[in-house]
Amino acid sequence: MNNIHVEDAETLGRKGAIFIAGQILARPEGVIGLATGSTPVGVYRELARLYESGWLDFSRLITFNLDEYCGLSGSDENSYRRFMDEHLFDHVNIRKDNTHVPDGMAEDLQAECDRYERLIADAGGIDLQLLGIGHDGHIGFNEPGAHFPAGTHVAELTELTIEANTRFFDRSEQVPRRALTMGIGTIMKARRILLLASGSDKKEILQRALYGPITPEVPASVLQLHPDVTVISGV
Ligand code: GLP
């Protein structure tokens, strides 16, 4: 595991973006897995800047987002599709049909999960998966539980996650209770992983995830078993 410590949020954004830029330069037609939440926002800002400066070309890149809330359409201001458009996709020359986010409005949610898994496999798998971490150790929306979920599935959000994500909504009742998320198996199949964690409130869970027992009670602890993980943390 490659551990990079940073002093401030700006550096986290810069180093995260440089890491991803290296992957895009090495394989411009490659596949990148993306994450939402406040942590990657600085990374996306820097990637957009690198594009504007002419250093990066997104025209052949394929992306898959980790997750999406059930019941929110892509145009809803709280949907992860809208988040990605606003923070990255609308600022670079990526083709929208090459960007994938699970459809939280699908009538048959399980069929949508199966379709999403197939799309990732058909694209040749994920070269680099970007991850944040929740306060309970969740990655994507894989919450603590009795086992590590394998594929993309419908997840019930825990009270802690609903509470943490309430800041993006007006009221906690508006936070969807379910989401579609890549499974732990989907994430572990990515060839490389970049995990970002910022803030003193993430310090303890990050320690448990990286150095504690590997257990589905701390979903991110499974990353200890992955052969190519870089962690950028601090602040
Ligand atoms: C949400 C997302 C996760 C993200 C987490 C932490 O639950 N589904 O992918 O890692 O929030 O978000 P933040 O970076 O805002 O702390």
As a whole number, the mean pLDDT across the chain is 96
Ligand 1 touching residue 141 (CB < 6 A): yes
Mean pLDDT across the stretch 8-37? 97
User: Does ligand 1 come within 6 angstroms of the Cβ of 220?
Assistant: no
- For ligand 1, the distance from its centroid to the CA atom of residue 40, given in whole angstroms, is 9
Confidence of residue 110 (pLDDT cuts 50, 70, 90): very high
Ligand 1 centre to CA of 52 (Å) is: 27
Q: pTM of the predicted model, to two decimals?
A: 0.96
161 lines ligand 1 (CB under 6 A): yes
For the CA of 37, the nearest atom of ligand 1: 15
Per residue in 55-90, pLDDT (tens digit) is 999 999 999 999 999 999 999 999 999 999 999 999
Helix 41-52 / helix 9-26 crossing angle, nearest 10 deg: 50
Q: Is 109's pLDDT higher than 90?
A: yes
Whether residue 235 is predicted with pLDDT greater than 80 in this model: the reply is no
Model pLDDT, residue 22: 98
pLDDT digits (tens, 9 = 90+) for 151-163: 999 999 998 889 9
Q: What confidence category does residue 171 fall into, taking pLDDT thresholds of 50, 70 and 90?
A: confident
Q: Residues 163-177: what's their mean pLDDT? A: 90
Q: What's the confidence (pLDDT) of residue 172?
A: 87
35 touches ligand 1 (CB under 6 Å): yes
The share of the chain scoring above pLDDT 70, in percent, equals 100
Residue 51 phi, psi (nearest 5): -65, -50
Average pLDDT over residues 214-231: 98
Average pLDDT over residues 88-108: 97
Tokens 């993006």 found at = 168
Q: Which of 12, 34, 36, 67 to mutate to test the pocket of ligand 1 (most atoms within 8 A of CB)?
A: 36
How far, in Å, is the centroid of ligand 1 from the Cα of 132? 6
- Residue whose CA is closest, atom 3 of ligand 1? 140
Is beta strand 192-198 parallel, antiparallel or unpaired with respect to 62-65? unpaired
163 catalytic, yes or no?
no
Is 143 labeled as catalytic in the residue annotation? yes
> What is the helix (H) or strand (E) element at residue 33, kind and residue range?
strand 31-34
Alpha-carbon gap, residue 51 to 29, rounded angstroms: 15
Active-site residue (options: 57, 136, 217, 226)? 136
